[in-house]
Amino acid sequence: MCNRLRTTIPRARNRRVCDWCGQTIEAAERYVCATYLDEGGWRNTSMHPECDEDMCIVAAEEGGCIVLARDNERPVVREALEEKGLLP
């Protein structure tokens, strides 16, 4: 993703899929809706707020542009597993 143009944090009216982790964003749950302009044109994304934070960190490390594959781990899930000692 490159050049974030607009960001809102609405409540979902319908179920959505997070563009970062691939998990469901339930109806009435808040999510980050962002509009980007990159080499391929306009792109709107829907992400859990914590996934958006992770994506911004990774994008900064990668030089600003990344491809969203919906296969990243959701941060709250990772943190819960770490707290339970279930991750190496």
Taking 70 as the threshold, does the pLDDT of residue 11 lie above it?
A: yes
Domain boundaries defined on the chain: 4-83
In CATH, the number for domain 4-83 is 3.30.1740
pLDDT score, position 40: 72
pLDDT at 74: 79
Q: Tens digits of per-residue pLDDT, 14-61?
A: 999 999 999 999 999 999 999 988 777 888 899 999 999 888 888 888
At residue 60, the pLDDT reads: 85
- Length, in residues, of the chain: 88
Q: Tell me the three state secondary structure of residue 49.
A: helix
First-last CA distance in the chain:
30
